[in-house]
Amino acid sequence: MLDVVIVGGGISGLYAAYLLQKKGLNVQVIEAASRLGGRLHTTYTPEGHPIDLGGQWIGPQHTRLLNWINAYKIPVHRTYTDGANLLITNRKRRRYHGTIPKLSWAALLDLGWGLAKLKKMAQNVSPIRPWEIYQPAWDEITLAEWMRRTFTTTQAYEAFAIGLSTVLGCEPAEVSLWHALFYIRSAGSLEALIEAEGGAQELKFSYGAATLIESIAQQVPWITHERVYSILWQADKVSLRTTNKTYNARTALFAIPPAAMKTIEFSPPLPPVYAQLPQRMPMGTVTKVIAIFDRPFWREEGLSGHVLRLEGALRVTFDTSPEDGSYGQITGFGVGKVARGLLHRSPEERQAYYAGEIRQIFGRNPRWLYHKTWADDPLIGGCYAGFFPPGGWGYFGESLRQPIPPLYWCGTERAVTWMGYIEGAMAAAETAVKLLTEA
């Protein structure tokens, strides 16, 4: 009999398998998809250039991830940030430097005041027990409601909305204010979330995030094409049924997003708060767009490739070219109302739309254009992560983290630190392994 059967072959499940195995336990990772990696998904252009459709950046605060990268000598390089950023509004372009775009003086003051207030409020969240809500009203309203009460200028409201929806992966009208505050606190600061230099976008995998997944996968037992459908469990053993087989183990570790848990039948059923959690923690909705050019030509015009747009579907872009600049790569994110409207269109129509926007912003057609709307992914269902709408943390937060032995959970949504990120997925794996081995 196995000691631990791990459901989900993303970074969290694989890293948990590695840690458990190091403690001498007999483990098996079961992945439903045809590939490992989950939200880390590298594909390649016909020339072999890596394209990360999922996670790709690493921040200096991502200590677990950086330790692993250093130990296994996984190539990474700094994100290109030299030159001026662009703010595009009403089709007009304005260059700016630093994080805050060149808005009107009134909007800048408004934005500065709102950001300072948000940062101060985030200090009141305990990332360890965020369900203990210091200000219940903050979990009862959406982030959008708070923004309407806070900002007096449209420009400040819109710039803030783009920034926060790009960071959170959901719209301000969907997410509770408390969740936004928790997200900031879990990363340490707002700057850590939004900055390239010194923040979560500082480094990127030179040959794709697949290099990280491969370095762990070669050390642990895993199987793909096996979806877990049901589990029979009692105090000291579990029996999981998959597409092809039954796996018997002493414990089960679920390394899948909470929303994906609803596809698995539990016998006996989970307690009601756990059973409802998947309904209360939906996945975010972001489209990632990657354009490949023959060279990073924007650098010749003194531009960084970082664009903020107060219009259209593609609202934010970054230069993600290789270290030697041998070709140009722009990564963008589709967020906001126009991007949401595109979800009613086919993937081909979306591709054509984003190609048009890239042409509009950069003035030429890319050699290749890739996009992935993660809501299309049948096993993960969205990105970057699950989030709580109003009331979620207060009523369902504790069930996100608390195991019911022999059932344990990990995955980035369960993390105390860097929830939503690779670092969070690794941190949650570490915590689950500790709870499981100390039980």
Ligand X SMILES: Cc1cc2nc3c(=O)[nH]c(=O)nc-3n(C[C@H](O)[C@H](O)[C@H](O)COP(=O)(O)OP(=O)(O)OC[C@H]3O[C@@H](n4cnc5c(N)ncnc54)[C@H](O)[C@@H]3O)c2cc1C
Q: Which stretch binds ligand X (CB under 6 A): 257-265, 313-321, 336-344, 398-406?
A: 257-265
Per CB under 6 A, does 417 bind ligand X?
Answer: no
* Closest CB to ligand X among residues 155, 201: 201
Dihedral sign for Cα 160, 166, 168, 173, please.
positive
Size of the site for ligand X (CB under 6 A): 42
Burial 400-417 (b: 16+ CB within 10 A, else e): bbebeebbbbbbbbbbbb
Q: Which residues pair with 337 in a beta bridge?
A: none
Per CB under 6 A, does 170 bind ligand X?
Answer: no
Per CB under 6 A, does 400 bind ligand X?
Answer: no
Encoded amino acid at 343, one letter: L
Q: Which stretch binds ligand X (CB under 6 A): 55-63, 112-120, 184-192, 293-301?
A: 55-63
Q: Which residues pair with 249 in a beta bridge?
A: 2, 238
Per CB under 6 A, does 394 bind ligand X?
Answer: no
* Closest CB to ligand X among residues 42, 56: 56
**Cα(416)–Cα(122) distance, integer angstroms:** 14
**Could you please report the per-residue DSSP string of 59-80?**
-TT-HHHHHHHHHTT--EEEPP
Per CB under 6 A, does 412 bind ligand X?
Answer: yes
Q: How far is the CB of 78 from ligand X (least distance, A)?
A: 14
Per CB under 6 A, does 328 bind ligand X?
Answer: no
- Tell me the CB-side half-sphere exposure of residue 7, using CA atoms within 13 A: 31
Q: How far is the CB of 110 from ligand X (least distance, A)?
A: 29
* Closest CB to ligand X among residues 110, 430: 430
Q: Which stretch binds ligand X (CB under 6 A): 91-99, 245-253, 358-366, 420-428?
A: 420-428
Which member of 257, 305, 336, 386 binds ligand X (CB under 6 A)?
Answer: 257
Per CB under 6 A, does 166 bind ligand X?
Answer: no
Q: How far is the CB of 246 from ligand X (least distance, A)?
A: 14
Could you tell me if residue 83 is left (phi over 0), alpha (psi between -120 and 50 degrees) or otherwise beta?
A: left
Do β-strands 228-234 and 237-242 pair in parallel, antiparallel, or remain unpaired?
Answer: antiparallel
* Closest CB to ligand X among residues 12, 186: 12
Per CB under 6 A, does 51 bind ligand X?
Answer: no
Per CB under 6 A, does 258 bind ligand X?
Answer: no
Per CB under 6 A, does 256 bind ligand X?
Answer: yes
Q: What are phi and psi of 338, to 5 degrees?
A: -65, -40
Q: Which stretch binds ligand X (CB under 6 A): 120-128, 147-155, 215-223, 421-429?
A: 421-429
**Could you please report the per-residue DSSP string of 21-37?**
HHTT--EEEE-SSSSSB
Could you tell me if residue 217 is left (phi over 0), alpha (psi between -120 and 50 degrees) or otherwise beta?
A: alpha
Encoded amino acid at 239, one letter: S
Which member of 45, 263, 276, 351 binds ligand X (CB under 6 A)?
Answer: 263
209: which 2 tokens?
A: 């995030």
Per CB under 6 A, does 385 bind ligand X?
Answer: yes
41 neighbors 290 (Cβ within 8 angstroms): no
Please report which helix (H) or strand (E) contains residue 333, including its range: strand 328-334
Binding site residues, ligand X, CB under 6 A = 7-13, 30-33, 38-40, 54-57, 227-228, 255-257, 260, 263-264, 286, 288, 374, 379-380, 383-385, 411-412, 420-425
